[in-house]
Amino acid sequence: MRSLLFVPADSPDKLSKALGCGADALILDLEDSVAPERKEAARAGAAAFLAQVRPLQQRPRLVVRINGLATGLSDADLDAVASARPDAVMLPKAEGGAAVVHLDAKLCAREALNGLDEGAIGIVAIATETAPALFVAGTYRGASPRLAALTWGAEDLSAELGAEASRDAQGQFLDPYRLARALCLAAAAAANVPALDTVYVDFRNEAGLRRECEEARRDGFTGKMAIHPAQVATINDVFTPSPQAVARAQAIVAAFAAEPGAGVIGIDGVMYDRPHLAKAERLLARAKAAGVM
Ligand code: COA
Ligand code: MG
């Protein structure tokens, strides 16, 4: 998944607008973009949208962001949407593997009640939204086979830290958020799931978004969340492996295939060893998923 667009689930207009925007996934939001008195409308909106879109042949992946486990709202959220079988549930304010195990149990119960296969609904966790979450980022590994990706967030963390800002005057994240971002990358690698970069809220600034996407890709993120349909094309563009990257990866895979016993090879005067092979294989898998191979 390269692009995941947040859509407030209490907005029928935005839901219908989101469908044609080219995002790999839509995140139907029941949490922070929905006012407390609109939660019920958002649950109904998400359930109706899932029922309408799931049967379509060509459709984005459908993720529902529920309210956090500590809010007392997450059970009603899950009850409202589970029967419509979202591809995944996004867990905000997740605090490590224990939170994923907790949500896994809730999903097992709903799947059983609705006649779904156990594990049908995946989990995407937002791993850095609270202070305690930072200290348990390393515990996602092995928590649940449902875990499909990890992502991170700066806004809730900055509120919790009592910070005045999360970015400097040039728009770069400040230290606490760079730490959160790095922890997300390491947590995802440890758990062997993709890392997805956080949102870029300045939605009219295409150059800033592109720069942030390129920095994210450079560091190992394989996709980014969006808040506005206009951001999707840029995100898809940056996170789709380029023809040059695909060609290089294919050359590395072919060279190792030609010398099965080799631990290291040279191509055009550059050394490649086993970690490069693993990286090349992952890139080719992403290229396939993006439809450019
Ligand atoms: N999904 C679907 N459609 C969206 C959208 C989104 N996330 N964001 C904007 N649109 C639609 C608008 O409704 C508008 O439609 P219209 O032309 O039919 O009126 C069109 O795209 C252009 O929107 P624009 O006028 O540029 O922005 P806006 O002021 O209407 O909306 C936000 C700005 C930030 C309120 C809106 O982008 C939004 O709700 N984003 C998602 C926020 C969210 O979910 N946050 C939680 C995660 S951090
Ligand atoms: Mg939030």
Pocket mutation for ligand 1, best pick of 227, 231, 232, 235 (most atoms within 8 Å of C-beta): 227
- How confident is the model over 178-218, as pLDDT tens digits? 999 999 999 999 999 999 999 999 999 999 999 999 999 99
Q: Residue 185: its pLDDT value, please?
A: 98
Protein residues whose CB sits closer than 6 Å to any atom of ligand 1: 5-8, 13-14, 17-18, 29, 32-33, 199, 227-229
Q: Residue 248: its pLDDT value, please?
A: 94
Domains of the chain: 3-239 (3.20.20.60), 243-289 (no CATH)
Q: Residue 243: its pLDDT value, please?
A: 96
Rg (CA), the chain: 20
Instruction: For residue 21, give the ligand 1 atom closest to its CA.
Output: 2
The band of 36, judged by pLDDT with boundaries at 50, 70 and 90, is very high
For residues 27-33, give the mean pLDDT.
Answer: 98
For residues 271-292, give the mean pLDDT.
Answer: 94
Q: Residue 260: its pLDDT value, please?
A: 87
- How confident is the model over 92-131, as pLDDT tens digits? 999 999 999 999 999 999 999 999 999 999 999 999 999 9
How many Å lie between the centroid of ligand 1 and the Cα of residue 291?
Answer: 27
The band of 293, judged by pLDDT with boundaries at 50, 70 and 90, is confident
Which residue has its alpha carbon closest to ligand 1 atom 2? 14
Report the distance separating Cα 248 and Cα 277, nearest Å: 11
- How confident is the model over 120-165, as pLDDT tens digits? 999 999 999 999 999 999 999 999 999 999 999 999 999 999 999 9
How many Å lie between the centroid of ligand 2 and the Cα of residue 156?
Answer: 5
Report the distance separating Cα 88 and Cα 82, nearest Å: 10
